Chains A and B, each alone.
Chain A
Amino acid sequence: RKEVEQDPGPFNVPEGATVAFNCTYSNSASQSFFWYRQDCRKEPKLLMSVYSSGNEDGRFTAQLNRASQYISLLIRDSKLSDSATYLCVVNSGGNQGGKLIFGQGTELSVKP
């Protein structure tokens, strides 16, 4: 099983659509979880951290289910500028300098 696995994509949606990304992780000891966004040939940029209680930032909502080892990201009212690759990222554990494990990414293309 891959350490972090995401929907294969790509997702092609019209402006204004709601789109959901799913992710699973294999290491039950993982302690922190993130969604990053990566534009073509650019660095990953933190979109939001993901907490067990669920959290929302404007049009973006992230959920974490530790029992199922499942993470999700919902984007409402999608904009053209949301087009990017969305990376599910898990911090591997509790040691200092814990490494981030990246999923392979799900590409989103928002069309007019």
Chain B
Amino acid sequence: EPEVTQTPSHQVTQMGQEVILRCVPISNHLYFYWYRQILGQKVEFLVSFYNNEISEKSEIFDDQFSVERPDGSNFTLKIRSTKLEDSAMYFCASSGQQTRGYTFGSGTRLTVV
């Protein structure tokens, strides 16, 4: 079964440092997403990406965040200057059709210290 692959599985970073979270979506999917889940809380939408541009973003996705699809396979989330409150599980997802369920990657656990 096709998978969404995320790396690294766990990243520890110091406050103020930049981090890049990487994702390889399912190859024939067209829509790509980042979500996050703070420990004990619900899964929250960050951003959606289609046709090489952001199609929607949430209030959480401020100027500290950016996304990029640098080549035909990778999809990255960059946090420019991490804060303690950025500590969370970050999930990448992709979908082929909007009305079908999305496939999530196994996540990157980001810990900001």
Contacts and interface: CB of A to CB of B under 8 A. Distances in A.
Interface string B12-55: 00000000000000000001010100000111110011100001
Which of A34, A38, A94, A96 counts the most chain B CB atoms within 10 A?
A96
Q: Is the interface of B mostly helix, strand, loop or mixed?
A: strand
Given A43-B107, A102-B43, A102-B44, A96 B50 contact: yes
A97 B55 contact: yes
11 contacts: A42-B106, A43-B104, A44-B43, A45-B104, A49-B99, A91-B98, A96-B50, A99-B33, A100-B43, A101-B45, A102-B43
A20 interface: no
Interface in A82-104: 87, 91, 94-104
Interface residues of A, number: 26
